[in-house]
Amino acid sequence: MTDSTSSSSPARAGSPVALILAGGRGTRFWPLSRESRPKQLLALDGRSSLLQETVARLTPLIGPESVWICTTASLVSAVREQLPQVPAEQVLAEPEGRNTAPAIAWAVQSMDASVRRKPVIVLPADHRVADSVEFRRVLEVASREASERDRVLTLGVSPRWPETGYGYLEVGLPYLTDGDVRRVNRFTEKPDRATAERFLESGNYLWNAGIFVFRGETLLELTRRHLPELAEGLERIAASPDRLAELYPHLPRVSIDYGIMEQLDDIATLTLDCGWSDLGSWQALADLLQSDPAEDAIHGDVVTHETQGNLFWAEEGTIAAVGVRDLVVVRTGDSVLVLPRERSQEVRAIVDKLTQKERSDLL
């Protein structure tokens, strides 16, 4: 970290707004997740989609009228259909994905000046939270810190096992103004198993949840400082909004973690202890659905005999299984996926191969 946030005195901002990132493909949930119906639009553990649940859990802290969605052009209609209570003009369409820094900075720039003075809470569209009340409490504290002290915050989750698929935040000393708000000493990308075990044992690390809180104006100032090429590109778009489709693909492709957050010497965190999961794989969904690891997690029409520890997901048709254990079996109308549960992160390799084979019918 090599810089600090703005030293200017922030205007008192009032209630926060939410910016939900809903443009991902969710390739690790293939074959259920497709380009036209990605993970965030699916109902994986209830009747509502993950995107709908993300918006719903913000109420009453943030109502739908204060929600902004950043998605892709191909998904705008589906997102608006799922979220009719969110103003249609606040569902923004990226012409193409350029990673999180362009998406967030462009979305914030698209807000009215009065909105940019408020705390902006950036949230992924496809996570699960069991305790919405505690989740909102933490967001409210973070919003107050962003509004009153112009802090930039990245929220973390108390690690429950030595996960190698998440980034980590090393937590430092608390701020005197609020003992729950602590400094982030450094970011660590996805560690190996031994390092993750050491992080867990130390008690000084949090999983990086990909949830950020800052004043919109502060984010744009930090973009100008740390990502000047991106800032210049956004200025060109603001000057000629009718050229968005032409100009946006030329924005640099960079994550907000690498491009901005990791460059700051003064960045804060709060701990989320609210039953968080990023639902990042079929394995994660199986863990969520299973009350007993010895039992199968089942969705749809499934018939089993002497099976144990499997996830069977039948969107269409019937799955029948005998004598198998610790598998993921997913059946859709046109595809069947079978793999060991512990290799569920590797589904993306199938998507890559289908892409190489130009099997757009399955993507």
Assigned domain for 227 exists: yes
Burial grade of 249 (CB within 10 A; 0-12, 13-18, 19 or more): middle
Six-digit token string for 252: 């640099």
Q: Is residue 108 located within the same domain as residue 89? A: yes
Which amino acid is present at 226? H
Six-digit token string for 169: 């935040």
C-alpha 178 chain-centroid distance: 26
pTM, whole model, 2 decimals? 0.91
- For residue 191, what is the DSSP state? -
Q: Is residue 173 located within the same domain as residue 292? A: no
pLDDT digits (tens, 9 = 90+) for 277-313: 988 899 989 988 887 778 999 999 999 999 999 999 9
pLDDT digits (tens, 9 = 90+) for 185-231: 999 988 999 999 999 999 999 999 999 999 999 999 999 999 999 99
- CATH number of the domain bearing residue 208: 3.90.550.10
d(CA 110, CA 234): 10
Assigned domain for 37 exists: yes
Q: Is residue 28 located within the same domain as residue 98? A: yes
278 three-state secondary structure: coil
